[in-house]
Structure 1
Amino acid sequence: MSFLLRQFSRFAMMLFGVSILAFGFTEFAYIRHSSFAQTSTLWQHILNYFHFLSELFHGNFGITQHNAAPVLSTFIHKLPASIELIIPAIIIAWLVGVPLATWAEKKPGGYIDRAVQTISVAFYSLPVFWLGLILMMVFATGFELFPVGGRIDYIYDITPVTGFALIDTLLSDKPYAFEAFIDVIHHLILPIITLSLLPLSYVILQLKAGMETIHHSEFIMAARSRGMSNTRLLWVHSLPNAIQPVIASMSLQFSVLITSTIIVEYLFSWPGIGHWFLILVQQQDFIALRGALMLIATVILIANIATDLLRYLTNPKLRRE
């Protein structure tokens, strides 16, 4: 219970801090672009902030200038498209990263270990935008194996039900529903690969570093002296201990992943939250940007709490505290 109270209080304080930053940045930008706003006083800006908070408590996150659409409903409408990229990217990062890191640690300093280390460092260092461009140029415009952008081909008329294109195509009663489902997967491959490379390389590098440290610890040496095999040492002792810091840092990586999603969505014309957010920036829709920033921050904070909860459930030491 105390854990939940701590998480809730931290969530409330961080959300309050985000509201100040979101309002401050957008208010400053509005002043810079409006001659009328330059005559306003500090007290008026403070009143505007409390009015902004009042609207948030009533569920009003603003209205877009372009089409007068509520920010909250637009965010909810765009969210499934972003989830279709983020969740598979996280799953790929863990399903591929954990076995690769463990496999490389079977023979530290060997060819496989050095190859995995080098490739992971390269993917971790290169900008996401550059990686996406390379993949697009090679596999989309070069070999023409994948579409350049978009979520589904325009020849398919699929009625949105859940907002998730993969699910909507399966629920559709159109005769070409399965073809549309395959087409959505076809459109997903390049954006997901681009988005998953950064968290994948991070998981590999963090796990390898953790297992290398644990590999030289006393309890591992004692287990080895009793004749325990290297494979069992890795999977039973090294990996469970090395994975805890990686889980602990997932909240930070999720924040980085959200930033990468904005870039990837814009690059591949993916109609998600990131693409919509950049359009608001281009249109200088400061009122809508405030609400969008608050909603994105809320999602990130909820993900952080979920990560801490996962760490709490998988770490007996935290449960005993």
Structure 2
Amino acid sequence: MARYVIKRILQSLLVLLGVSIVVFLIMRVFSADPAPVVLGEHATEEAIQEWREANGLNEPLINQYFSFLFGALHGDLGTSYYTHTSVTEEIMSRFPATIELAIVAIIIASVCGIKLGVTAATHRGQAADGFSMVLSLVGVSMPVFWLGILLIILFAGVLHILPSGGRCDPLLQPVGGTGFYILDTLLSGDFETLGDVLIHMILPALTLAMYSMAIITRMTRSSMLDTLNEDYVRTARAKGLPEGGKKGVIHHHALRNAMLPITTVIGLQFGSLLGGALLTETVFAWPGIGKYTVECILKSDFPVVQGVVLLIGCIFVVINLVVDIIYAYLDPRIKYSREEG
């Protein structure tokens, strides 16, 4: 097991190195010169060259990359071209909003996806199965930004029952230093603000959860169908155990053994939600790193974009590593087959 874990860690480090190279090249080689964008169209050539020199853009690319990599290893992702503050500080001030949204979204996606998948598998070929598959198809096919706009039009524009954007009412700002509004309001006992935070969370969380819910539904259905055909499930039924209930055939025997691939998908989807939050936060004016990244892309604030993409890449790789290790721990056959390969 230790050998497998070390091997996966080394592979993850190589992946992160590749991510840093790709991010750097996209920003510095395949993008337009940020100097005219930052200084404005009326900037003189002399001012542009002075700005480039001050920001290290006249250095050879290899020197720029190693400077970026060395800084990233020490937690320094550079300085924003516009605010002249640390990129790390800029990201960390907005990161709790994105993490909070992603956690709520993955909870919704997991609970609804597993429930729909189990229902579809236990009612194969029936109306419930068809409904679950159509809903998952819609979730996979519909773009996040389009779904968000439709939900805003329906619930905010037509029904007027939910807010169209923002994280909470400006007059009800939570008191606390964690940056996680739900946690801050719970710790302070401010349930009025908690209710407002949760109401603002509904539409963006549903929008972000839809794609992951569709993937989890499909995986749960497929895994459950395989498990329901196993001999131990037939034996449980032959003993007269009930189908439903916590100790029943479906949940205690079938779903419990089908959860391994489902857990893997849930872990990977959580990493994907951080990337998918970019469009969701833009549509709902959610003050997280996704919305901030879009603004910085439009302003050619390269250090911020590099930092955010590298951070999301690191999170995704770490989640993938943890899921693989858990998978190998729960099912030693996976570990042995990969070591033999």
TM-score interval w.r.t. the shorter chain? 0.7 to 0.9
Shift of 1:143: 0.9
Structure 1: 5+ residue runs without aligned partners?
none
Structure 2: 5+ residue runs without aligned partners?
37-48
Confirm or deny: 8 A CA contact 1:29 1:286 kept in the other structure.
Answer: no
The alignment partner of 1:266 has SS state of helix
| Structure 1 residues 30 and 113, CA gap change in structure 2 (3 angstroms) | closer
Partners in 2 of 1:53 and 1:320 — Cα distance? Answer: 35
Deviates more, 1:190-199 or 1:43-52: 43-52
Within the candidate set 260, 279, 283, 2:299 is matched to 283
State the number of aligned residues. Answer: 316
The reply to whether residue 166 of structure 1 matches residue 143 of structure 2 is no
| Structure 1 residues 156 and 234, CA gap change in structure 2 (3 angstroms) | closer
Calculate the aligned-residue CA RMSD, in Å: 2.8
| Structure 1 residues 219 and 180, CA gap change in structure 2 (3 angstroms) | closer
| Structure 1 residues 17 and 8, CA gap change in structure 2 (3 angstroms) | same
Partners in 2 of 1:148 and 1:108 — Cα distance? Answer: 38
Partners in 1 of 2:180 and 2:237 — Cα distance? Answer: 49
Shift of 1:155: 1.5
Confirm or deny: 8 A CA contact 2:175 2:184 kept in the other structure.
Answer: yes
Equivalence map 1:28-43=2 (5 Å): 28-30=29-31, 32=33
Partners in 1 of 2:167 and 2:325 — Cα distance? Answer: 33
Q: Deviations over 1:235-263 (max 9, x none)?
A: 24432343322333345423432222111
Partners in 2 of 1:249 and 1:10 — Cα distance? Answer: 20
Deviates more, 1:108-117 or 1:9-18: 108-117
- Corresponding position of 1:138: 154
Equivalence map 1:1-321=2 (5 Å): 1-30=2-31, 32=33, 44-172=60-188, 177-217=190-230, 220-221=233-234, 224=237, 230-231=243-244, 232-315=248-331, 317-318=333-334
Residue identity matched to 1:283: K
Q: Deviations over 1:20-62 (max 9, x none)?
A: 001110111455556968xx99991112211222222232101
The alignment partner of 1:203 has SS state of helix
- Which TM-score applies when normalising by structure 1? 0.87
The alignment partner of 1:249 has SS state of helix
Partners in 2 of 1:194 and 1:144 — Cα distance? Answer: 18
Partners in 2 of 1:32 and 1:78 — Cα distance? Answer: 27
Q: Deviations over 1:245-286 (max 9, x none)?
A: 233334542343222211111110111111111111011011
The alignment partner of 1:155 has SS state of helix
